[in-house]
Amino acid sequence: MKRTAEIDEVPLKQSVERRPETGMALATLLVIIGLILSKVTGFLRETLISIKFAKELQDAYSIAFRVPELVYQLLVGGAISAAITPTLARSLQLGEEKKGFRAISIFISVAGVAMGLMVVVGIFSADYLYPVIYPNPENMNITLIAAKASKILFPQIFFMMMAAFSIGILNAYKKFAATSMGPTIYNVFVLLSIIIFGGPSEHALYRTMIGIMSAALIYFLFQLTVGHKYLKSYRFSLQLRDSDFRSVFRLAVPILISSSIIQLNTLVITSFANRFSEIQFSIQNAVTLWQLPYGIFAVGVGSVMLPTFAGYYAARKSANCSDLLSSSLRNALFLTIPMTGLLIMMPTDIVRALFSYNQNYPISRVLNTSQLLLGYSAAVIIQTVIFLFNQAYYAIGKTIMPMISGAISLCVIIISNYLLILVNPQPRPIYLALSYCLAGIASAAFLVSSYVRNRELMPRNILRFSIKAAIGLFSMVVVLFFVNKLPYQPEGKLMEFATVFVKGIVGLSVFLIASWVLRMPELKTAVDRIFGKFKTIRKRA
């Protein structure tokens, strides 16, 4: 009877163990779908900008967002997901929901008051601040237009912050479906603003900015509505002496510094970019393109990993933490590595097809953006590693490590830009992107080497995966090299799109075939996640 009982218990135990994995796979799929829609609509936004606005206004549009984004990162930034989500997730795991929510409520209240004050300061100081940060002797009008546009944008960061807090709380409860569509809704209203208000004049840019600010308000109201059930426990409070709030604050401060460093890196690159004429919007376009695969796959996998990892760590399940980070790394890299291959081998094809529609985006801008995209291509892999290890550090409460990593990247990016741009007698735009990648490599090396010192939490089977993935990447690069040698030049926008699509399918097919030949388990995971979970969704419907 005892043996029979043991046999009967096995399926039940396996079923219980599989439920978190099944839930995570479905959640990851939903988040990735939401991110795909968000990134696609976000990309369409930049495409419309290149069509609707002249080159001068394109650069002004790009620069206008920089200071409000820096303020956002300084005050909240990554602290929303990296401190709020794991803190509340740990409280839920330990059965201390009310205690955790009280601390979170105080943090949100303090951040809201601080952000409101900074919005007012930003509006009144933009005219004086922009000429100092973005001096442009060749065309100061771009800087002045950007300063005026930023005044309209500053209220947006308050609404974006409150929407992000809502998402962070819902992610702690693992309600990913409720958070996956918000960014897409925001981008759709931004698209409508550009379509309705966009035009060749300075005032058209300002009207567009009003529409974008309104889109942020709609985004916040949407997240507030879909998450009302879980957000109703929030109470405004400024009890700064609360011990649990102080714990959250101590976690958040290094994250805020890390987030601000990311924006400082952007400011450094932007400053050095002034050595080249009319390149600001090209930088933004190149960054948008490389962040498409990173923002979809790495962020999708890491966002779902964070609350589960924090729960495992709170329950002292080190083996589960190791397994979760291992699978998350391999699965995210399996999806981002072939995308890197496409960016390496097809930068000009991609940029020409996606951005060049009229004289507002001439061949000179296509070449600049293509060169930058080639330089940024390795960032897809590098930043995937950085993001996932940062999530792991946030989950275990060691937020100081990502901050040190960020400081290292800032030092490297300043030194490399100085050597490659200022000292170099023949600087090229691609060096701006290469300096970013060099900084990322230094940052990733620090994070990984520090994390693996804990043998219980370190990821497993990464070297074997990396070798196989490198073989697959090399195979697709070789095939695309010979495809690019074919004597064919597409004519017309439709044929440009068709060329990018066909080359992309060829390259990805080679990588997938190589993965199948090398028997990479990540291939089966990806297939099961896509097709198996769609079946699950259909059955539930």
Distance CA 262, CA 77 (A): 10
Distance CA 476, CA 488 (A): 20
Mean pLDDT, the chain, as a whole number?
A: 82
Distance CA 171, CA 209 (A): 30
Are the CB atoms for 115 and 75 separated by under 8 Å? yes
For 290-318, b where at least 16 C-beta lie within 10 A, e where not — what string? bbbbbbbbbbbbbbbbbbbbbbbbbeeeb
pLDDT of residue 56: 76
Distance CA 388, CA 399 (A): 13
Residue 178's pLDDT band (cuts 50, 70, 90) = low
Lowest mean pLDDT among 174-188, 352-366, 406-420, 487-501: 174-188
CA 305 from centre of chain: 15
pLDDT of residue 126: 86
Q: Which of 35-39, 43-47, 221-225, 230-234 shows the highest mean pLDDT? A: 221-225
Residue 9's pLDDT band (cuts 50, 70, 90) = very low
φ/ψ of 63, rounded to 5, equals -70, -30
Q: Is the pLDDT of residue 396 over 70?
A: yes
Q: Where do the structural domains in the chain lie, given as residue ranges?
A: 18-540
Q: Where are the alpha helices (DSSP H) in 227-346?
A: 228-231, 243-273, 280-293, 299-314, 318-345
Distance CA 110, CA 125 (A): 22
Lowest mean pLDDT among 23-37, 53-67, 217-231, 445-459: 23-37
**What is the arithmetic mean of pLDDT over 368-378?**
92
Break the chain down into helix, strand, coil percent, rounded to 5.
85, 0, 15
pLDDT of residue 215: 92
pLDDT of residue 447: 94
pLDDT of residue 256: 73
Q: Is the pLDDT of residue 141 over 60?
A: yes
Q: Is the pLDDT of residue 512 over 60?
A: yes
What is the sign of the dihedral through the CA atoms of 159, 162, 164 and 166?
Answer: negative
Q: Is the pLDDT of residue 136 over 70?
A: no
Q: Which of 77-86, 172-181, 214-223, 235-244 shows the highest mean pLDDT? A: 214-223
Chain position carrying tokens 């090209």: 282
Lowest mean pLDDT among 133-137, 342-346, 355-359, 377-381: 133-137
pLDDT of residue 49: 82
Which amino acid, residue 134? Answer: Y
Q: Which residue has the higher pLDDT, 86 or 269?
A: 269
**What is the arithmetic mean of pLDDT over 493-520?**
92
Q: Give the model confidence (pLDDT) of 59-108 as tens digits.
A: 888 888 888 887 777 666 655 666 677 777 777 777 777 887 888 888 88
Residue 3's pLDDT band (cuts 50, 70, 90) = very low
pLDDT of residue 267: 78
Distance CA 470, CA 467 (A): 5
**What is the arithmetic mean of pLDDT over 516-531?**
78
Q: Give the model confidence (pLDDT) of 448-485 as tens digits.
A: 999 999 888 889 889 999 999 999 999 999 999 999 98
pLDDT of residue 370: 93
Q: Is the pLDDT of residue 514 over 90?
A: yes
| N-term to C-term CA, the chain | 41
**What is the arithmetic mean of pLDDT over 137-146?**
74
Q: Give the model confidence (pLDDT) of 302-329 as tens digits.
A: 877 887 888 888 888 889 999 999 999 9
pLDDT of residue 382: 94
**What is the arithmetic mean of pLDDT over 159-180?**
79
For 501, the token pair is: 């699509």
pLDDT of residue 78: 58
Distance CA 324, CA 459 (A): 8
pLDDT of residue 455: 87
Burial class (CB in 10 A: 0-12, 13-18, 19+), 6: exposed
DSSP string, 90-122: HHHHTT-HHHHHHHHHHHHHHHHHHHHHHHHHH
Q: Where are the alpha helices (DSSP H) in 136-201?
A: 140-172, 182-197
Residue 164's pLDDT band (cuts 50, 70, 90) = confident
Are the CB atoms for 59 and 277 separated by under 8 Å? no
Q: Is the pLDDT of residue 440 over 90?
A: yes
Residue 15's pLDDT band (cuts 50, 70, 90) = very low
Q: Is the pLDDT of residue 4 over 60?
A: no
Residue 139's pLDDT band (cuts 50, 70, 90) = low
